Structure 1
Amino acid sequence: MKPATMWARANRWRRSLGLDGNDLRRDVDRAQQRLGIVLLMLFFGIALPLGVHTAQTVYDSGVRAERHEAATWRRVDATVVKVKEVSGRHRVTVAWTGPDGTRRTGDYTTWRGSAVGSRIAVWAGPGTVSLLPPRDHSRTVAQTGVVAAAVALATALPLLGVHRLARRRFDRHRDRLWDAAWARLDNHRIGP
């Protein structure tokens, strides 16, 4: 994008917000501008602290889950002992030998079925079996970003709704003022 185009867009945006000192602006325009600024300040006052707190909580929880899964899950070669179809998915039961020599079993649900007797690699943890490896840091960062964006959106939507309703009301009032101004202009007699 050319710098001149960028500055022209920024200037157009500034004027649309009413930040240009235009003497032709009416009180209704100034009231709408003040409401927009208050709603914007309210958004930043709510969304930033709430988003930071929520993102920090999700990130800390994800890091704890990463550490826990890395310490307790291990990759094992298991044998499929039973496959049961449930609601279009497959409930697969696998068996493997633990590090202490005991025979263990576990279940997981998947979209793709496996044949009984086939060998597959799974991740086993305390009380769980999964095809997915332990949680990695990129998943924690992605979840943190999604949650922060969701908090910002959840905060912005009600405020945008208030702004839209207020803008409708301001537009109706502005239209009445324009109609009254045109009526006064039509009543003005020109000539002898």
Structure 2
Amino acid sequence: MRRSGIRRGGTPLVRLRRRLGLERNALRRRVDRVQRLIALGLLLLLLGAAPPLAALAVNWSYGAGMSAEHAEHANRRQVVATVTSTGGVGSVGDRYIHETVQATWPGANAQPHVGTLPSWKDVKVGAHRTIWIDQRGDPTVRPRPHSRTVTDAVYAGSAAVLGCAVPVLFAYALVRRRCDRHRDAMWDADWARMDAAGHNPRS
């Protein structure tokens, strides 16, 4: 069986263009052409504004992330902690006391520092673990990884593009709604003229 030359819906891109009123059609009226021109203008505005704003957001986020990386790497260092007690220290009734251990490690100026660390499986007195400490010698998290800086920069650029796209899409939605109302009014006027002339096929 031969396929019909008429495609029901066309490609997704064609359907999208038709839904947005952007495809060429000799039967379109002035309101359709106005809507098409406004849509084209909004698209050009988006293409002109989004890339530079995204670049600024990426550069700012990446620079802030690199500054945070350098600061944290300069103010934090790794030391080896030695477990001195597995009983933990806490207030009476502390339900999480069994999840900590007491340990000692070299703190500021290589002076011994005693504190509490999270426990781990099969921990025993005398066990060693490498930890990160800040300038005061207190345990802290590892310095900011570079992958987080890159990820934050990508998020910032995406947010900038989205921030530009949302107002543009909202503006087009308002234009489309206004044009649809105008088209409906024109259709009503055409049907009214046909009714008055007695040529309305619905009657």
1:51 to 8, 31, 54: 54
What SS does the corresponding residue of 2:187 show, helix, strand or coil?
helix
1:69 to 56, 69, 72: 72
8 Å contact kept, 1:83–1:114 = no
Change in 2 beyond 3 A, CA 1:49/1:107: farther
What SS does the corresponding residue of 1:122 show, helix, strand or coil?
strand
Q: TM-score, normalised by structure 1?
A: 0.70
How far, CA to CA, are the matches of 1:137 and 1:122 in structure 2? 19
Aligned length: 174
How far, CA to CA, are the matches of 2:185 and 2:130 in structure 1? 73
Partner of 1:151: 160
Partner of 2:105: 96
Partner of 2:32: 29
* Structure 1 residue 183, shift from structure 2 partner: 1.5
* Structure 1 residue 157, shift from structure 2 partner: 2.0
* Structure 1 residue 162, shift from structure 2 partner: 2.0
Change in 2 beyond 3 A, CA 1:48/1:95: farther
8 Å contact kept, 2:46–2:165 = yes
Give per-residue Cα distances to partners, 1:15-74, cap 9 Å, x unaligned.
444444311111111111122222222222222111101101211222333344334422
Residue type matched to 1:24 in 2?
L
Unaligned runs of 5+ in 2: 1-6
How far, CA to CA, are the matches of 2:80 and 2:25 in structure 1? 74
Residue type matched to 1:136 in 2?
P
Partner of 1:122: 131
Bigger proportion of residues as strand: 1
8 Å contact kept, 1:77–1:96 = yes
Unaligned runs of 5+ in 1: none
Give per-residue Cα distances to partners, 1:77-104, cap 9 Å, x unaligned.
44798668xxxx99x9986323742245
How far, CA to CA, are the matches of 1:14 and 1:136 in structure 2? 44
Q: Does 1:175 align with 2:179?
A: no
Residue type matched to 1:34 in 2?
L
CA RMSD across the alignment = 3.6
8 Å contact kept, 1:82–1:94 = no
Change in 2 beyond 3 A, CA 1:83/1:22: farther
Change in 2 beyond 3 A, CA 1:12/1:44: same
* Structure 1 residue 175, shift from structure 2 partner: 0.8
Of structures 1 and 2, the larger Rg is shown by: 2
The correspondence of residues 105-144 of structure 1 with structure 2, limited to 5 A, is 121-126=130-135, 129-130=139-140, 132-144=141-153
How far, CA to CA, are the matches of 2:149 and 2:193 in structure 1? 65
Q: TM-score, normalised by structure 2?
A: 0.66
2:193 to 176, 184, 187: 184
How far, CA to CA, are the matches of 1:106 and 1:161 in structure 2? 56
